[in-house]
Structures are given as structure tokens and as C-alpha cells.
Amino acid sequence: MLLVVTPNPALDVTYTVPVLRPHTTHRVGAVAARAGGKGVNVARVLTALGHEALSVLPLGGATGAAVAADLAAAGLPHRAVPIAGDTRRTVAVADPSDATLFNEPGPAISPAEWRALACAVETALPAAGGVLVLSGSLPPGCPEDAYAELVALARGRGAVTVLDADGPALTAALAAGPSVVKPNAAELRAATGIADVPAAAAELRRRGAGAVVASLGPGGLYALTPTGAWRCAPPETATGNPTGAGDAAVAALAAGLLTGSDWPDLLSEAVALSAAAVLAPLAGDFDRTAHRRFRKAAGAVPVGI
């Protein structure tokens, strides 16, 4: 089993419209709502791969109840920590050419609620199979070093951590020594001020990350690890919805750490799975046929450090 923490989950609402025109009234053709947030997407992908992934997340209000109901309906095991605030929504307005996103910031978390979440993680860790995934933004009110605390907790229990965060949530966690961090190119540059990917990855390792797996959109992955560096490009550029591709990459990394894959294998799988996720319309899903095809074709290439 893996443990996945989503500190700022959401009910992802998608409105489908024939065409989006700002400052006009739209008739919404279809409305879809499902549990979201980056960690929830990771847990969905892990579950679809046949892994047991337990989500720990704060939920509150009517929207929190809707998220919990959707998780249950989707067969995603979760431990909800009750909060006073109402869980946020994200709204995506999708027309045939693209989507426009509106992301609420999320309810503030009180210090007591944060403590309860950290306790829930601590309680669930022993059964977690040694892998803890920490994914997405921190809600308002959460201490900046919240992820640092959970990374330290996991290390103390001998568990490895995969961290997907940006800004202060990422940089404050580095000193605690996350096993793997997965910034995208913009997040890597923002965290380091360095445009060169290998140099920026080296800087994150210098600050405490065990391995840095940088995702470069259609360019694939660059990984700098304690045992070497690799690049892995997707076998082909996929056209579709790239939102959530990074979450699929995180799921592959976490699954590979659980099963003890070596780095080239782990990266090839992450590239194949994330490219297959681009082909699926919703974040948290991937195209199974494409995944198998990409998996045969993807290969990580060692690069000099």
C-alpha cells in the first residue's frame, strides 16, 4: 500500500460548452464533478495500476462531503480529517479547443486541524508500505514547512517520500530530505532562479532532495539521482489534456519506489504513463492501450553529470 496526502483537495467541476465567450451567458451542455486535487489524481492513477493507495486529506462542508462520496464511489480508500471550512471547488470550462480554469484557494486550515492531519499521516504510515506521496498546494493557514514535517516523519519511520509541490511548500521541505521531488520546468526555475535544468536539479539536491525528477512537458523527464543522471523522452508527442500528466508521472515514481524498480525502468514507466495521461480527457485518468504501447518504446538514456 502507498499513502498519498492531498492537503488541499477539491471538487473538480467541469462545464462543457460549445464555445467560451467572456462576458456572455453560456448554456452548459454537460456538468461533471469529481474528487480532485493533485494527490487524489495520483491515488486514482495508482489504483488504476492495481496498487492500494490510501488518501489522507482534510475535508469539510457540503463540498467535502461530495468529495468523500466520489472517492467512495470510485473505490478510492481515504481517511478524511474533518475541518470547519468548506472544501474548495475548481471549475474548468471546456470548449472543443481548450479549457479555462478557475481554482479556488481552499479553506483555511487551523493549527489544530493541521495537527490532526499530521497525526492521521503518522497513524497510517506503518501500513503504508514505505512510500509516502505528498502532492499539491498547501491550503491557507497551513505552516509553510508542513511538508518538511511530514517528510521528517516519514524518514523517522524509514519510509521514502515523493514530493510534488512548488514555491515555499517545496523549498521549505528540501532541508528535511525528501527522497524524490518532481518539479516541472517552471517550478524548478522558480525554486532555484536557474534556467539550466541539470544545474537547477543539482541545486535542489544540494539543498537536501535525494533525487530530482524534473518534468519538461513534451520533452519528458530529466532525473538527477544519487546514482546517476538520465533523460527520458516520450516515444511520441501526445495531443490532449496535459493537466494531470505530472500527477501520472508522480504515481509511476511512487509505484516504482514501492516495487524497487531501478532508475531507468522507473523513468521509462513515468514517461510512458504520463504521455498516456495526456491522451485521457480527465486528470487522474490515462489511456491503457497507449500506456502499453509507450511502455515498450520508452527508454531512459544516461547522461553525464
- The answer for residues whose C-beta is within 8 angstroms of residue 277's C-beta and 6 or more apart is 45, 244, 245, 247, 248, 283, 285, 286, 287
Residues 230-269 that bind ligand ATP (CB under 6 A): 234, 237-238, 242-247, 249
Q: Which does 244 bind (CB under 5 to 8 A by kind): ligand ATP, Mg ion, none?
A: ligand ATP
Q: How far is CA 283 from CA 29, 62, 108, 270, in A?
A: 20, 23, 25, 15
274 contacts ligand ATP (rule: CB under 6 A): yes
CB of 110 to ligand ATP, least distance (A): 28
Of the residues 247, 262, 265, 285, only one is catalytic, namely 247
- Of 189, 191, 152, 186, nearest to 169 by C-alpha is 191
- Of 245, 213, 251, nearest to 232 by C-alpha is 213
Cα separation, 280 vs 128, whole angstroms: 28
Nearer to ligand ATP, 130 or 240 (CB): 240
Q: Mask 80-119, x = binds ligand ATP (CB under 6 A)?
A: ----------------------------------------
How many residues line the site for ligand ATP (CB under 6 A)? 21
Cα separation, 299 vs 296, whole angstroms: 8
246 contacts Mg ion (rule: CB under 5 A): yes
136 contacts Mg ion (rule: CB under 5 A): no
211 contacts ligand ATP (rule: CB under 6 A): no
Q: Is 247 an annotated catalytic residue?
A: yes
Q: Which residues are catalytic?
A: 247
